[in-house]
Amino acid sequence: MVIIIEKKRIHSVKTRIKDITGGRYVAQEGFNPNYVLTKYGLRLSRVRILATVVDKFISEGGKFASVTLDDGTDTIRVKVFNAVSMYDNIGVGSEVDVIARVKEYQGEIYLAPEIINVADDSNMQLLRELELRQQDREVEGKRKIILEHQKQTSDMSELERLMHERYGIQPEEVESMLQVHEEPQDNRKEEVLKLVEKLDDGNGCDYADLIKASGLPEDVIDSMVNELLEEGSCFEPKPGKIKKL
């Protein structure tokens, strides 16, 4: 008797590079795909990115090649082994639309491309940014719904059932968003404190810039900033500004 296991194809998620590089890589066993867990609670396994090629490398033997992509938020390498012809029409300065799997090797998160095309439509970047902003709003909406109902349910299975039946939110989404929400605050607080120092122009760090650079929801930043102010790690030199002591 032959048992055929059908592998469900994972849809690609449009994202920014910083959400991949700033996330936590999670390796799974068996047929379960590895993924990056973002600060928003999204699982990124197969992604779609619009970015500019800022570096290209091909090995002497022609068995390995990589391009480095920059989308304005961060950079990431896209590696191919043997199938280097994928990069024949791509050079430094090319704007590319990439669908790829998220991989990790020796601490480096990189992409293994399935499709890479030159993006020749000048409106594509604007359209992608609008799509990403809409996606951000949807994810934040789901996160708020999950957190609001978490206090009203007795356990995780009941919460997952309620979210799926009432709002169409998948169980893995519930699990991931709660996992991010429950991560130790001290680690993220330290990251925020470093950002405050980095973004300080001499007169303090602009609050709006801190939210944008952190990639965290506004209410999470609010909570952390309040804690930093209360414990005396920071102060407000003027409204809308925060400065490290």
The better pLDDT of the pair 105, 2 is held by: 105
Query: Could you report the per-residue pLDDT of 216-225, keeping only the tens digit for each?
Result: 767 678 878 8
Categorize the per-residue pLDDT at 129 as very low, low, confident or very high, splitting at 50, 70 and 90.
very high
Mean pLDDT of 16-30: 89
Q: Would you say 103 and 112 are in contact if contact means Cβ atoms under 8 Å apart?
A: yes
Burial of 150 (0-12, 13-18, 19+ CB in 10 A): middle
Tell me the CB-side half-sphere exposure of residue 32, using CA atoms within 13 A.
9
Q: Provide the CATH number for the domain formed by 13-118 in this structure.
A: 2.40.50.140
Q: How confident is the model at residue 6 (pLDDT cuts 50, 70, 90)?
A: very low
- Alpha carbons 12 and 67: distance in angstroms, whole number: 20
Q: Which of 68, 50, 13 is closest to 124 using CA atoms? A: 50
Strands 205-206 and 108-118: unpaired
Q: How far is CA 78 from the centre of its chain?
A: 16
Confidence category of residue 131, pLDDT binned at 50, 70, 90: very high
* CATH code for the domain defined by 185-244: 1.10.10.10
What one-character DSSP code corresponds to residue 84? G
- Domain locations in the chain as residue ranges: 13-118, 124-181, 185-244
Q: With 70 as the cut, is the pLDDT of residue 158 above it?
A: yes
| pTM for this predicted structure | 0.70
Decide: helix, strand or coil at residue 191: helix
